[in-house]
Structure 1
Amino acid sequence: MLKQTDFFRRPARALMAALAALALVSGLWILKLQWVWPWPLLFAAPDTLPLGALAVQQNTLPRMAMALLAGGGLAAAAMLMQQVLRNPLAADSTLAVAGGAQLALLAAGVFFPALLLHGTFAVAFAGAAAALSAVLALSARREMMPVTVVLAGLVVSLYLGSVSGIITLFYSEEARAVMQWGSGSLVQDSWHDSLGLLWRLAAAAAALSLLLKPLNIMSLSDDQAAALGVPVKAVRTAALALAAFVCATVVGMVGMMGFVGLAAAAAVRQAGVRTLPARLWASFAAGGLMLLATDNALVLLEHYYGIALPAGALAALIGAPLLLWLMARMPARPAFQTASGGKTAPLRASPWLRYSPWLLLPAAALALLAGNGANGWHIDTDPAVWALRYPRLLLAAGCGIMLATVGVLLQRLTQNPMASPELLGISSATALGAMTAVMIFGTTSGSALFWFAGGAAALLALGLMMWLNRKNGLQPEKVLLTGMALAALSDAAIRTWSAMGDYRTQQLLIWLSGSTYHTTPLLSLAVAALACLLLVAVLPLSKWLALLSLDSVVAQSAGVNVKRARLVLILLSALLTAAATLTVGPLSFAGLLAPHLAAMLGARLPKQQLLYGALLGALMMALADWLGRQLAFPYEIPAGLTATLIGGAYFMVLVRKL
């Protein structure tokens, strides 16, 4: 029996009540604007209605029903994933389920459009199931520990996003309609899709009812459940398959819906709902009301101001601040293991650690001399060709140094092995700041305002992340959840601008993908010099990093001014991220992969990890830029996407072996 508590004792309950009131009031407002006939006619036969009434009956009402069902389904699926994996971060977005479904639909729409003639569900479910299977396979050796599962999910999400980015770049015309639809639209022209989603959700609920008892037993522990005769692996697999089924159905029908599932599930957890059936029903209600209120706001915005925006992007704009607000009120207790629970660097350094600096020389020679052309692969000895290539080499290497350095700083500062500019939302916030300068103030890429806006956004995002987690001791899962919310918020704003069709967003597309093609010798020399100077400036702070990575109390007792040390490290991290992102866009994965590689090769001390991580970051980005220019010649894959494809594949292997 669910324990009864004061409804307004917890802020999330008041928030859910407010969502219900907002959804009801906004829905009635829309009907009052659109319905001028007697109310009994609302359910009359369609062939007896005038055109305006028919539009309300077959468009407005199915759209509201779809919002309730889609939001509710995503939230219930997120809660089911969280229950099965004992992971408060599990959701369609964090476990790559939605990303897999979207990539499958995008690939089918571009390369095999005939597959979509009979509906999108089968394609979306295949992509979602494949992505979720990859995440579970990567985390299987660590018995699906929450940190490992989330790390694998984020890695797979980045990887799938890069593949989608490459398809969009090379097939922009074919992919435009799919990507616009994928940004999330609840517009309906009949009750067909709404009723289709309803019976699919009902079928999933019926199947889930058979699993509720074993799932409740599994909430204690897997060992106890197995001792009581519960087939743990089979039940977990079936529950995750049901969650993937629901997410794929929603994505296949309405596209990506941002942060709705994770935010609604977090609100229900905050409300103190304890039993699994009650949590599932409460999540369904919270997610449906959240998405309905969001979509009603879009309808009113279009009615009064003529502005049409995608529902998925706006849902993320609303869901991400909601999640941040809930994060600030979560009790300061660990929800799963900290970074110290994983493997540490080996006691003896690998020989490859000593050889890694020398690998830069052949990599630089390869980038300068080797190329693919009309006559195939060849060696270029023309100085004029070198003059075109060396700026790109320096720029990629310099950005690799900066991102790897900030990755080490963030991982040591937050004691979180998953911390990086990409996963903590700093890169996305920098990109949003720069895009704001372009879209609102009309500045150009590379201008002073462009740099200032991006740097200020990076500093704001990192400072906000640290401030929101100041009371919980920077617990890994809460830092990561905050970063994901910030990244979702920034990405949603970027997608909203992109969906408006402004030509300037198309010009920024290549920059957002991480390209070095536009660089000049002066810019590349300046970036490389700045990267080296900032690395030299950070090295003397390695003592701070060593002490802060242990404990703030230990650092304080050793004479470190913890607040000042953290402030300095935050400022340096923001500066490094902003410089790299504003130069070549929000590059992916260098800040996450290079520090891990350095640690795995035996760089145990902060100074060692900083030096070797920077070298490996430069090596990775230089090779990524060179490969991006050669693999699809005469076309070019931006360095950021190439780095994610290569680094992501290697990092998935590392996660599998941990």
Structure 2
Amino acid sequence: MPEARLAASGRDSVIGGISGWIMVGAILLGLAAALFLLNLSRLVPPAAWPALLAGADDLRAIMARDGLAPRFCAGLLGGGALGLASVVLQQVLRNPLAEPGTLGIFAGAKCAIAASIIWAPGLLSLGWDLPALAGGLGVAVFVLLFSARSGFAPATVTLVGLIASLVFGAFGTMLVLTHFDTLGDLYIWEAGSLIQNGWGSVLALGPKLGLVSLAIVLLMRPLSAMQIEGAERLGVRTSLVRGATMLAAVGLSALVASTVGLISFLGLAGAAIARGAGARRLSTRLIAAPLIAAGLLVLTDQALLALAGGIEIPAGITVMLVSVPLLLWMLQRTPVASSAPAAMSAPMRLQVGTAPAFIGLGSALIASFALATTLGPGPDGWQLAHGRLLAELSIWRLPRITAACCAGAMLAMAGSLLQRLTRNAMASPELLGISSGTALMLLVATLFLPGLDRSGTAALSCLACLAILGCVLRLSRRSAFAPDHLLLIGAGLGALLASLLSILLVIGDPRILRVIGWLSGSTYSVDAAEARAIVLATALALLLPLPLVRWIGLMSLGEPVGRSLGMPIAGARLAIVLVVAVLTGIATLFVGPLSFVGLMAPHLARRLGTRTALAEIYGSALVGAVLMVLADWAGRTIAFPWQIPAGLIATALGGAYFVMTAWKR
């Protein structure tokens, strides 16, 4: 009898689970279909719908038959494909947070398409599928190579994927900034617009997605067997299965990206809702996640059409705004398997000692300042400025070099404090979303509060940074500040910033070019007065850690140790958070949110042998200053006369550094 009751209970739970995800999918698709019919009735009265099939050729009939209807079908195909790709990626990597956006596949597709438009337009004669597939596949191989040594641990895969997204995203932004006339329209495509001008794209996309989906169905059995311990002894060729399924998932993502744009987090949302609605087995999730993701996308798109009042807002933006809160909820409810914080990395190999390290870093800062001030290309080639020419150039060069130096120092100090506060070597203002969130607030202030002066904007920046940092730490505390949770929270805030930026692009605000440059970490708009202000702010900021030095040192030992030694945990945490907020807020105000300095500088400072908390903080400041000065100089010279923002150069350098570190480890 107990066995019978258990079996009956199991059958009931399966039936309940199936009913759950079917119900969710049916509700989403039903609402989307109802809104589609509403939008259709606004174009063509229901009594005239038969005429659409008969080939009516008036303007409204054409808009309905060749615009609205294929748009609805494109949403179904694109959403379903992204849901299926996310399930496959999560299964093969054993990572519930894997999806094309977090693994950098979309960033690679964007870079490849942008490069093809500039240098190889002939490749696009057959469409964007091939470049998108090549770029996405290249980044996927990159992520797999650098995650293989860890056995594809979720934290490592997520970290490498996010680094790949930042690096390739920075490269793509460089291309757009230097070829804006050619690539300006990519921003609309990147936002994930479902606009269709006929059935051609849908009819071409459907069979391709069908073939790739069939390949996934054929791979389902070995893919399920991979989860069994010792699968290779049972005859499962795990490497071959992993490669084939990854190729299929990248193919689905690339096909959707080339047709409707980049719709990040949609697949993650579909897979998460499917699991929450009872789809536990792989075979069930392969049906449920595409169904739910397709419903989410078409429902969002049709709702925007019904409510936007004629303004075309890409569905990818709104889907992201819905999916990011879902991601944060997932991180709260379902901790990732590897939830231990990343240990603070000890100095490796190169250890020169504290005093020699500071002497060397000080000399490097002076040398980099001199290099950036005197050496650069001009109309007649490279030249070393001196005398009158140096005096004339210094008016333009010194303010931006000073701003880069000071901002790099403050971001590096903030990164060091965050890593000690969370005992997480991967914490930084950039990756935790603090810089992006602060930039989001400053972007809103720039566009909607234009009367604010520099001091008012600085105060708003620091307050926004404080609020966002408090939110990030609150959301991450349950998982003990696990690296994967912190990084994905940062990715979510970065996605929100990208969504707002895309909305502004759709609206067509003429100030967008200036905003894009600032968000990329540009220093070339800094004048002498602003340079003096940031020097003063940095001088004061260097004093902020001094009263907290004992608490900072104890914080890295953990709360139990600090409490036993009489440290007020809540007060210490609040004080450090306030200092980080001020440092990040001021630095972001001058150079934007995009760089790796806050993450990379503390690692380099520890490698040089800075042992105490205070030595690490100030050593990080020197490293950050040197890195940003060199990044600003490189951005000014490598593509002369074009100007590459220092933040993009720093992101590329930081990504390369962490790639090498991950490979060595």
Output the TM-score relative to the length of structure 2: 0.91
Match in the other structure for 1:29? 38
Matched, 1:287 2:293: yes
Distance 1:353 1:18 in 2: 63
CA contact (8 A) 1:7 1:14 kept: no
Identity of aligned residues (%): 37
Query: Equivalent residues in 2 for 1:253-332 (5 A)?
Result: 253-302=259-308, 305-328=309-332, 330-331=333-334
AA aligned to 1:85 is: L
CA contact (8 A) 1:431 1:512 kept: yes
Deviations 1:355-392 (A, max 9, x none): 33332121122122222222322222233433433222
Identify which range, 604-613 or 146-155, moves more after superposition: 604-613
Distance 1:572 1:186 in 2: 44
Matched, 1:212 2:247: no
Deviations 1:632-654 (A, max 9, x none): 22222111112122332233222
Distance 1:50 1:346 in 2: 72
**Aligned-partner SS, 2:323:** helix
Distance 2:283 2:347 in 1: 43
Match in the other structure for 1:201? 209
**Aligned-partner SS, 1:139:** helix
Cα shift at 1:481: 2.0
Q: Quick one: structure 1 residues 79 and 361, their matched pair in 2 at CA, closer, same or farther if it must change by over 3 Å?
A: same
Q: Quick one: structure 1 residues 521 and 482, their matched pair in 2 at CA, closer, same or farther if it must change by over 3 Å?
A: same
Match in the other structure for 1:389? 397
**Aligned-partner SS, 1:90:** coil
Q: Quick one: structure 1 residues 587 and 489, their matched pair in 2 at CA, closer, same or farther if it must change by over 3 Å?
A: closer
Cα shift at 1:334: 4.4
**Aligned-partner SS, 1:503:** coil
Distance 1:253 1:298 in 2: 20
Distance 2:357 2:152 in 1: 30
CA contact (8 A) 2:146 2:659 kept: yes
Out of 561, 564, 571, which is 1:554 matched to? 561
Out of 522, 525, 539, which is 2:529 matched to? 522
CA contact (8 A) 2:409 2:625 kept: yes
Aligned residues between the structures: 650
Match in the other structure for 1:175? 183
Distance 2:189 2:635 in 1: 28
Distance 1:464 1:578 in 2: 15
Q: Quick one: structure 1 residues 8 and 233, their matched pair in 2 at CA, closer, same or farther if it must change by over 3 Å?
A: closer
CA contact (8 A) 1:430 1:458 kept: yes
Query: Equivalent residues in 2 for 1:175-574 (5 A)?
Result: 175-221=183-229, 224-302=230-308, 305-328=309-332, 330-331=333-334, 333-340=335-342, 344-346=346-348, 349-350=351-352, 353=357, 355-382=360-387, 383-443=391-451, 447-574=454-581
Cα shift at 1:98: 0.5
Match in the other structure for 1:628? 635
Match in the other structure for 1:139? 147
- Tell me how large the CA RMSD over aligned residues is: 2.8
Distance 1:342 1:13 in 2: 46
Distance 1:10 1:361 in 2: 68
CA contact (8 A) 1:104 1:127 kept: yes
AA aligned to 2:107 is: G
Distance 2:483 2:43 in 1: 49
Distance 1:609 1:89 in 2: 33
Distance 1:266 1:541 in 2: 42
Distance 2:187 2:507 in 1: 13
Output the TM-score relative to the length of structure 1: 0.92
Cα shift at 1:20: 4.6
AA aligned to 1:93 is: G
Match in the other structure for 2:4? none
Match in the other structure for 1:56? 64
Matched, 1:76 2:84: yes
Deviations 1:152-171 (A, max 9, x none): 21122111111111111111
AA aligned to 2:243 is: T
CA contact (8 A) 1:539 1:610 kept: no
Query: Equivalent residues in 2 for 1:77-96 (5 A)?
Result: 77-96=85-104
Distance 1:642 1:92 in 2: 24
CA contact (8 A) 2:338 2:482 kept: no
CA contact (8 A) 1:106 1:179 kept: no
AA aligned to 1:635 is: W
Match in the other structure for 2:660? 653
**Aligned-partner SS, 1:335:** coil
Matched, 1:148 2:156: yes
**Aligned-partner SS, 1:469:** helix
AA aligned to 2:311 is: I
Matched, 1:644 2:651: yes
**Aligned-partner SS, 1:371:** strand
Deviations 1:427-486 (A, max 9, x none): 221221111112222346x53443344333322222221222343333332222222112
Q: Quick one: structure 1 residues 6 and 268, their matched pair in 2 at CA, closer, same or farther if it must change by over 3 Å?
A: same
Structure 2 residue ranges without an equivalent (≥5): 1-9
CA contact (8 A) 2:342 2:483 kept: no
Q: Quick one: structure 1 residues 40 and 167, their matched pair in 2 at CA, closer, same or farther if it must change by over 3 Å?
A: closer
Out of 589, 596, 617, which is 1:582 matched to? 589
CA contact (8 A) 1:295 1:311 kept: yes
Identify which range, 77-86 or 529-538, moves more after superposition: 529-538
Matched, 1:614 2:607: no
Deviations 1:165-189 (A, max 9, x none): 1111111111112332222210112
**Aligned-partner SS, 1:185:** coil
Distance 2:329 2:586 in 1: 29
Distance 1:405 1:568 in 2: 14
Distance 1:77 1:604 in 2: 46
CA contact (8 A) 2:18 2:278 kept: no
AA aligned to 1:327 is: L
Match in the other structure for 2:3? none
AA aligned to 2:173 is: G
Deviations 1:230-269 (A, max 9, x none): 1111111111111110110010001111321222223333
Distance 2:80 2:559 in 1: 42
Q: Quick one: structure 1 residues 8 and 42, their matched pair in 2 at CA, closer, same or farther if it must change by over 3 Å?
A: farther
AA aligned to 1:34 is: L
Matched, 1:596 2:587: no
Q: Quick one: structure 1 residues 353 and 91, their matched pair in 2 at CA, closer, same or farther if it must change by over 3 Å?
A: farther
CA contact (8 A) 1:88 1:335 kept: no
